[in-house]
Chain A
């Protein structure tokens, strides 16, 4: 070991993070404050202002139509949500829901363009593939550290850490979906003189829609799986209740909150899956 001294990797990374924190302080402050306020407003003023019974009713009706007028999903959604309300976890549920919505939305907004870029450029694919691998294999806890450095604690760093963890499937599936469009259809499109943009919006994206939606579904599920981890840095919601249960060795509380997350996961999953239909199928 002696010949080469220990490379100060950790120091370098810390120094780099410090530099980024200082240099982009204005940006981080803006996100932390304004975006943070917006999230808070979304959860506490909008979602929580809806009466619980009305919220459950709306979800039930949506479930009915989204599932093709079947009662299974409707019944599950209504009973599941009622159970969470009954356990007095409604505010936590709304916070968790907000975290998942924002993390997923941002992931999709970032992920789809990167996926398109990856599909269109071999170079981009070569560069992005290992980065995506890195993002998915790095233990999710690690993301909490820079998230706290940039955004201190609360919902915003929770969303940020979730975005890093949840974006890769959308990027990958978008890339895959576009690349899967058959060669002959691309030729057909080209033969009519489409520009790159026309080809993308008229042929590639519509045909990749199903695959992209499957990726988005994965993204949402990953964002949801970050809920508990994000609550360690102060993101409010069901995750916080789980952590509290853990700290107090209170199995019951922890389990009930966990059950709430599962119910939310199943409802979101079935909703996104049922919405994933393609024209002409």
Chain B
């Protein structure tokens, strides 16, 4: 069961919420509703599930409703309609006592502008959630310290937030959220206030932490690069509506509509696409069955100057060149073994485009994509360039 289930969640800001929801059901746009009722549609019937251990990114421009949506998930904002299930319990219908319990035990939030308490030391900040729960002093100090050490701030516990840089302050924010050991981490533009270098560092660290802690993370951002970098799945929002949910690849490769496509246009594809997306099914010859004549024949037919040599199980042995093969054919050699070359540029399925670029630059043959010693596909120079230009990408990877 998904840990977070959001169903038809809506938020109308204004006094005529009932009327406005009726208009929403009739399919009126955000602008039309604003005109008719004077109310603003914050979130428009959003539905999504987040699985345990997943990083689910909600991405949208400012005003798209993403910050409202995350606040509906822990009910910092009261939903107008719809349900939010955390571990199967509907938060939207909960009384305040149970809501507090869920907030204390299951959900923690990290804020865009850090929201550290300026009158508390770093340690006291990290302790806050535990203190609120009534955990005794020693225990909460210990856990807060562990949490701070995890984010690399073990040495700053007696400082005040004001004395720390932005990046460090947000680490405290993260430590404060993690000290509770929540099931779900809500991160509202958590890295947006940091400068780009620090932001990247924090993204890497979050991913690194995630390797070990396996939290469920709902991450809000307006930065598509960030979304693609850290998201297992991404929901794209526009005007309060979720327009597409998918893995980074799905969104890049199959944008659901013009809006998403426009968004995706500016993305640096080289960072997101991997070998898997641009490899082609290779032409090969079998080292046991085929000799130089077959190889030569096949190369002539396909217009190739080199060809990869595998065995029946597609284990890669090497490649042969057209010159070597025709020489061998003239000499009536029966086997390919003698002319096999092994200086192969190799990549795996998830090698990034940037690395492939370097590999392919001065390689005599196409890059071989290998998994467990088996040849899965090849990448030719043309495919790399085409992919960067935004076409000819195949989502399934194996065949085209």
Contacts and interface: CB of A to CB of B under 8 A. Distances in A.
Contacts of B132: 192-194, 198, 202
Contact of B104 (A188, A193, A278): A193
B200 interface: no
A203 interface: yes
A191 B108 contact: yes
A207 B119 contact: yes
Interface of A: 182, 184-185, 187-188, 190-195, 198, 202-203, 206-207, 209, 278-281
Interface string B73-96: 010100000000000000000000
B119 A206 contact: yes
Contacts of A192: 103-104, 108, 128-129, 132, 180
A280 B122 CA distance: 10
Contacts of A182: 115
A216 to B, nearest CB: 18
Q: Which 4 A-B pairs have the closest CB atoms?
A: A193-B103, A193-B104, A188-B115, A280-B160
B172 to A, nearest CB: 12
A280 B76 contact: no
B100 interface: yes
A207 B131 CA distance: 17
Nearest to A210: B119
Contacts of A193: 99-105, 129, 132-133
Nearest to B101: A193
A191 B109 contact: yes
Contacts of A184: 111-113, 115
A194 B119 CA distance: 17
B76 A187 contact: yes
B122 to A, nearest CB: 10
7 contacts: A188-B116, A191-B108, A192-B128, A193-B99, A194-B100, A202-B128, A279-B119
A206 B125 CA distance: 13
B interface secondary structure, majority: mixed
B269 interface: no
Given A193-B132, A280-B161, A188 B111 contact: yes
B217 to A, nearest CB: 15
A193 B116 CA distance: 16
A187 to B, nearest CB: 5
A280 B100 contact: no
A184 B108 CA distance: 14
Contacts of A195: 100
B118 A207 contact: yes
B129 A280 contact: no
Nearest to B186: A191
Chain B CB within 10 Å, residue with most, of A182, A192, A202, A209 = A192
B118 A191 contact: no
A190 B103 contact: yes
A207 B103 CA distance: 23
A191 B103 contact: yes
Contacts of A279: 119-120, 160
Contacts of B119: 206-207, 209, 278-280
Nearest to A203: B117
Most buried by B among A191, A198, A209, A280: A191
Nearest to B180: A192
A205 to B, nearest CB: 10
A194 B133 CA distance: 8
A280 B323 CA distance: 77
A187 B71 CA distance: 9
Nearest to B159: A280
A281 to B, nearest CB: 7
B158 to A, nearest CB: 11
A202 B104 contact: no
B171 to A, nearest CB: 15
Given A202-B131, A279-B160, A280-B161, A191 B107 contact: yes
Contacts of A209: 119
A281 B162 contact: yes
A273 B173 CA distance: 33
Contacts of B74: 191
Given A184-B113, A192-B103, A280 B108 contact: no
A188 B177 CA distance: 10
A191 to B, nearest CB: 4
Nearest to A190: B76
A256 B307 CA distance: 111
Contact of B115 (A185, A194, A198, A278): A185
A192 B107 CA distance: 8
A184 B116 CA distance: 9
Nearest to B109: A191
A206 B132 CA distance: 15
A264 to B, nearest CB: 32
Contacts of A278: 119
B367 to A, nearest CB: 48
Nearest to A198: B132
Contacts of A190: 76, 103
Nearest to B161: A280
Given A193-B101, A198-B132, 14 more contacts: A182-B115, A184-B111, A184-B113, A184-B115, A187-B109, A187-B111, A191-B76, A192-B132, A193-B129, A202-B128, A206-B117, A207-B117, A207-B119, A279-B160
